[in-house]
Chain A
C-alpha cells in the first residue's frame, strides 16, 4: 500500500522535467498582467495625460552596468516627460529563455537588449520591430563601424541598433614584465607581436618550481571568442560567402595546433584550472598567477580599479597585421509594442553617443560610431585614469574589426557545437583533424535543418 503510493508519487516526479518546461512558460505569462495594467493606467490616466509607460528589459552583466543604465534612464525621462520607463534587469544566464517565454506569452517588453548572436534568430521569427524606416540623419547605418554595421544589417533591413562594440585584446601586468625584464608589447597594431614573439615572451613569463607552475605565461586563448579571433587572423574564415561552414582547412588547423601547444608546454592553464580556484581571470592577472590575458576589452572596467599597472595591446598576429572581431548587444523593440514611436525614442537614446560615452569612459565599452574615433570624438570618452598608455593607438584595431563570426549565423546551437569540439581538442581527447571534420559535419547538418 505504502509502496504503491510512493511509487505513484514518484512516477509523477518523473514528469518533473516536463513541468519544469511549462512552469517557466507560465511564469512568462504571468508577467503580462503587470505590463497590461501599466499600459491601461497610462491609457485611462486623466491627470498624467499622454504619459506612456515603456517596459524595458536588459541583463545584469554587473551591478556597475545596471547602475549606469538606471542613471541613463533617469536622464532620458527628464528629457522626455511624456515617457515613463520601467527597467527590469534579469540575470544574464536566464535572459534569453525569459525573453522568449515572454514573447511566447505575448507579453514581451517594449524595448529590450538582444544578444548579437541571437539577433538573427529573433528577426527570422518576426519578433522584432523593423527600424529601417526610422533611420534618419541622427542615426544612419553608415555612421557605424563595419562590425556593428554587419551585425545590424539583415539583408538591407535593420531591427536593432548596436549598443557599442567590444573585442578580444591582450591585457598584461606591467609589474610582471618589469620583474622579468621584458619589454612591453607595443599597443600600435603596426608594431604588434608576431605569434612567435608572443609565445617566446609567454615562455619567459612562465615560472616553474619543480612540477608546479607558479606563474603561467598567458591565459584565455582557449576561450571561444579568442580562438576564433586568432584563427581568423591566420586566414581561416568560419563561413563561406554562401553561408556554408568553412572551418575545415589548413589555416584553422595550424591556428588550433599553435594554441594547443601552449597547453602542452605548460605555458597556459586549462580553462577550468584557474576558474575553479575561485579567481576571475582579472584577479589572476592581478595576483601574478598569469602574466598575460586574452580577454574581451570590457575587462578593462574591472582591471582599471584593481590597483596594478595594466597594459593593453592588440592580439599577436599570424599574418602581416593583427586583427580581432567586434560584437555587442543590440537594442530592439518588440514587433507588438503599442508605442513604437516612444520605443524608438528610447532606442535612439540608448544608442546615442552621449549614453555610450559614460560606459566607454569606465573602460567597459568601445565606440561603435566612426566619428567617435576622430580626434574630436575621442576627447569625449578617453580617460587616462582608465585607459592605459598608448591605448588610443589601438583605435583602428577596434574600429576596423570584423564582426564576431557567430553573429551572422542564425542558430545558437552552432556555437555550442564548435565550442564542444574545440574543448575536446584542447583537452587532448580528440585530434585536430577529427575536430575540424566533426565541426564540419555537425554544423552542416544543423544548418540544413529548418
Chain B
C-alpha cells in the first residue's frame, strides 16, 4: 500500500510539475494510472459482455418499462395510457385466472419439488453400488430438451394408450383424461415440471450434504441419536443455506414457467394451465398488445421481487449462522 502511494505521488509530480498539489491531485493521479495499468484491459475484456448486456438486457428492460405505460401494437403510433394497462390487468378476468394458476403452480411445485429432491439427495449420498449411475439417471431430465420431454409426457398422460393410466388400470383405478381435464391438467403439468427439475435441485443438495462433516454424525451416534434425529437436527439445519438458495431459484423459475405449459397443453383446456408468461406471450405476439404484455411482465417482476425479498428477510431473521 505504502510504496504504491509513493509511486503515484511521484508520477503526478512528474506529470504536472508545479501548479497543483495536495490530496485532490493525488487521487486523480491514482485513478488515471489505475486505468492505464489494469482498467483498460478490464474494460476491453468486459466489452463484449457489456455490449450484449446493454443491447439485450438493460435497454430492453427499460424500454419495456416505458412501454408498459403505453398502448402499442408494434406498428401504429405509440399512445400513452398512463396506468391504464395496470388498471386493466386487475380487471381482466383472464389475467386473474392466469395469476392464480401461476400461484397454484408455484405453491405445489416448489415445496413438493424441494422435498422430493432432498429425499433423493440423502438417498444418493449413501455408499451404494453404482451410485454414479443413479445420480446420472436422476440428472438426465435436466439436460434433456423440453420438447422431447413434453412429447414423452403427453404420451404418458394419454388416457387410452398412455403409460400412467395403464399403471393405474392395473391397480383398478380408472385414470382421468389428464391433459384434457380442467381438474387434472394442472397437476399433470406440475408433475412433469417437478420431474424435469428434480435432478438440478438434487445435485445442489448433494453438494450441500457433502459439505457436512462426518464428525457431527459420529458425535450424534455416540450420544445415541436415531437416524431421524440426525436428519432433523444435523442435516436439515446445516443444509439451510442450500435450501434457501434452492427455494429462491425454484420460486423464480416456477413464476417464469412457460415452455412446459406451451408445449404440453398450450394453456388449455380452457385457461386451466395458462400461466403468467404464457398469457404475456399471447398478448405480445398473438394479440399485438405489446404495452399490455409489458405491464404484465412488470407485475411478474415485482411479484418475484417481493417474494424474494421476503425470503431474504426471513432467512436473516432465522439464520443460525
Whether the pair A121, B288 counts as a contact (CB closer than 8 A) is yes
Interface status of B57 (Cβ within 8 A of chain A): yes
Whether the pair A421, B287 counts as a contact (CB closer than 8 A) is no
State in angstroms the CA–CA spacing of A429 and B272 once bound together.
10
Whether the pair B269, A427 counts as a contact (CB closer than 8 A) is yes
Residues of B within 8 A of A442 (CB): 93
Residues of B within 8 A of A19 (CB): 56-57, 60-61
Residues of B within 8 A of A23 (CB): 56, 60
Whether the pair B159, A14 counts as a contact (CB closer than 8 A) is no
Interface status of A431 (Cβ within 8 A of chain B): no
**Known contacts A7-B312, A13-B252, A14-B256; A424/B179 CB under 8 A:** no
Whether the pair A273, B294 counts as a contact (CB closer than 8 A) is no
Chain B, Cβ-Cβ closest to A278: B155
Within 269-291 of B, Cβ neighbours of A (below 8 Å) are at 269-272, 277, 280-282, 284-288, 290
Within 5-22 of A, Cβ neighbours of B (below 8 Å) are at 6-7, 10-22
State in angstroms the CA–CA spacing of A100 and B272 once bound together.
28
Whether the pair A276, B158 counts as a contact (CB closer than 8 A) is yes
Contact flags (1/0) for A18-58 with B, using CB distance below 8 Å? 11111111100000000000000000000000000000000
Residues of A within 8 A of B56 (CB): 19, 22-23, 26
Chain B, Cβ-Cβ closest to A417: B94
Q: How large is the interface on A (under 10, 10 to 19, 20 to 34, 35 or more residues)?
A: 35 or more
Residues of B within 8 A of A370 (CB): none
Whether the pair B252, A10 counts as a contact (CB closer than 8 A) is yes
Residues of A within 8 A of B41 (CB): none
Interface status of A277 (Cβ within 8 A of chain B): yes
State in angstroms the CA–CA spacing of A127 and B76 once bound together.
9
**Among B159, B248, B285, which residue has its beta carbon within 8 angstroms of that of A10?**
B248
Interface status of B69 (Cβ within 8 A of chain A): no
Interface status of A411 (Cβ within 8 A of chain B): yes
Within 138-164 of A, Cβ neighbours of B (below 8 Å) are at none
- Give the distance to chain A from B264, nearest Cβ to Cβ, in Å: 10
Whether the pair B74, A25 counts as a contact (CB closer than 8 A) is yes
State in angstroms the CA–CA spacing of A116 and B181 once bound together.
31
Whether the pair A277, B158 counts as a contact (CB closer than 8 A) is yes
Whether the pair B160, A429 counts as a contact (CB closer than 8 A) is no
State in angstroms the CA–CA spacing of A272 and B180 once bound together.
7
- Give the distance to chain A from B269, nearest Cβ to Cβ, in Å: 5
Q: How large is the interface on B (under 10, 10 to 19, 20 to 34, 35 or more residues)?
A: 35 or more
State in angstroms the CA–CA spacing of A271 and B268 once bound together.
12
State in angstroms the CA–CA spacing of A96 and B282 once bound together.
12
Residues of B within 8 A of A269 (CB): 160
Contact flags (1/0) for A124-139 with B, using CB distance below 8 Å? 0111000000000000
**Known contacts A19-B61, A21-B64, A21-B297; A413/B179 CB under 8 A:** no
**Among B59, B75, B293, which residue has its beta carbon within 8 angstroms of that of A21?**
B293
Interface status of B123 (Cβ within 8 A of chain A): no
Interface status of A104 (Cβ within 8 A of chain B): yes
Interface status of B249 (Cβ within 8 A of chain A): yes
Residues of B within 8 A of A396 (CB): none
**Known contacts A11-B305, A23-B60, A273-B180; A420/B271 CB under 8 A:** yes
Whether the pair A125, B75 counts as a contact (CB closer than 8 A) is yes
Residues of B within 8 A of A100 (CB): 73-75, 285, 288
Interface status of B154 (Cβ within 8 A of chain A): yes
Whether the pair B271, A22 counts as a contact (CB closer than 8 A) is no
- Give the distance to chain A from B161, nearest Cβ to Cβ, in Å: 5
Whether the pair A429, B269 counts as a contact (CB closer than 8 A) is yes
- Residue in B248, B282, B297, B304 with the greatest tally of chain A CB atoms within 10 Å: B297
**Known contacts A18-B297, A19-B61; A412/B268 CB under 8 A:** no
Within 242-276 of B, Cβ neighbours of A (below 8 Å) are at 244-245, 248-249, 252, 255-256, 258, 268-272
Whether the pair A24, B159 counts as a contact (CB closer than 8 A) is no
Whether the pair A16, B180 counts as a contact (CB closer than 8 A) is no
Whether the pair A416, B282 counts as a contact (CB closer than 8 A) is yes
State in angstroms the CA–CA spacing of A212 and B169 once bound together.
12
Interface status of A224 (Cβ within 8 A of chain B): no
- Give the distance to chain B from A7, nearest Cβ to Cβ, in Å: 7
**Known contacts A272-B177, A277-B155, A411-B287; A14/B241 CB under 8 A:** no
Whether the pair A3, B60 counts as a contact (CB closer than 8 A) is no
User: What are 16 residue pairs bridging A and B, where the CB atoms are less than 8 Å apart in the complex?
Assistant: A14-B252, A15-B61, A15-B297, A17-B277, A17-B280, A17-B300, A18-B298, A19-B56, A21-B64, A125-B73, A269-B160, A270-B180, A412-B287, A424-B270, A429-B182, A429-B183
A-side interface residues toward B, CB under 8 Å?
3, 6-7, 10-26, 96-97, 100-101, 103-104, 121, 125-127, 212-213, 269-273, 276-278, 411-413, 416, 420-421, 423-424, 427, 429-430, 442
B-side interface residues toward A, CB under 8 Å?
55-57, 59-61, 63-64, 73-76, 93, 151, 154-155, 157-162, 177, 179-183, 241, 244-245, 248-249, 252, 255-256, 258, 268-272, 277, 280-282, 284-288, 290, 293-294, 297-298, 300-301, 304-305, 308, 312
